[in-house]
Amino acid sequence: MAREEEAVYHARASGSLINLRHKPRLIDLFCGAGGMTLGFTKLCGHCFMPVWANDNNSDAVRTYNMNFGEHCIEGDINDILANGTIRIPEADVVIGGPPCQGFSLLNKRRDGDPRKQLWRPFMEVVKRSGASIFVMENVPQLLDTFEHGEIKETARQLGFMTIESVLCAADYGVPQTRKRAFIVGCNFKDPCMFFPPKKTNYNPKSMNATGLSEELDDYIVDPLPWRTVRDAIADLKKPEGTEIRKLPPPYDLHFGRTPTELSKRRYRAIPKEGMNRFDLQRLAPDLTPACWIRKTEGGTDLFGRLWWDRPAFTIRTEFFKPEKGRYLHPVQNRPITHREAARFQSFPDTFKFFGKKIDIARQIGNAVPPLMAARVADTVFSLWLSRPN
């Protein structure tokens, strides 16, 4: 069945899927800006038809509706399901990423976090919509939790067979090494015959004298190298100003910040790409915060510069703060801009974001990279095509 999935990938790339007459209906829950919907729809060459979406953030809902049509409902999904006046429409596929903070390594003491239970309304929407396929996305840590077992058992009780896998965005054309877990469920065929999708891009470091050192069956025919920071942002001029500008993309969101003099000195102290806080401590200990000096292990990405010829590291919601991760430009003495972060997430420049700077940053950092979602959509579409008449 992997051949069918690869055929769908090539058909999508050629643009031949967009005009299909019968399109699978799509619901996106916890949709945010709509990165996952984007991967399933025509902007990424796909043919799914969004019919309903939900998020509890008003700016994210505005962003979603500006790009996909006015069918995203703002509100708490539990309240919506309890409200008898709001009908969940029929759908073929339900996708979404229940908020992951409760599972994240960045939040290690959240055993009682209610966000760890938001998979329950997700599965309720699967049930009410009559969907035959679902895709649940989350942090890789989800697969090591008690909740993962509960999700699979609930899906089984609803008649679904499931498979799960951790995917790396860089393997699917995204210039970023973000890893995400996906659980795919289907009630008419075992999804393990279609998922995970074959990789379209490879890590050049995995090459040896005879070619790829990994299993060739994991890749499409003629995969491309990973896309890099250079591929994504080298064409952009230096950012201007510190606010969103009324300019055509990409320069509407390509603005800078106003760092302190101390921050500027720290930027200049680590001039080479790939440097980080340990290099700052070695080269300029007088500029290094005491808390970094005390933390002798881990955190190698903190206050780090990107490499031109590697993918970006995981883009989070505070990518504009270099002390939060590897978010310094490879050669310029500044953090990355909103536009650069959006490109690292594989959002096209034409995608419209609504909100203030911090709201848009949150939407960008929380999104599923659209190109990654598109490869998942290839497998879902292959699965949908195999449904019984």
Catalytic positions: 100
The three-state secondary structure class of 132 is coil
3-state secondary structure of 165: strand
Q: Which residues pair with 211 in a beta bridge?
A: 208
In this structure, what DSSP letter does residue 236 have? P
DSSP H or E stretch at residue 222: strand 219-225
Output the six-digit token pair for 306.
């990107």
- How is residue 187 annotated by DSSP? S
Burial class (CB in 10 A: 0-12, 13-18, 19+), 19: exposed
3-class secondary structure, 274: coil
Q: How far apart are CA 63 and CA 369, in angstroms?
A: 16
Residue 373 CA to chain centroid, in angstroms? Answer: 7
User: What's at 252, amino acid-wise?
Assistant: D
Q: Under the phi-then-psi rule, with left for phi > 0, alpha for psi from -120 to 50, and beta for the rest, what region is 49? A: beta
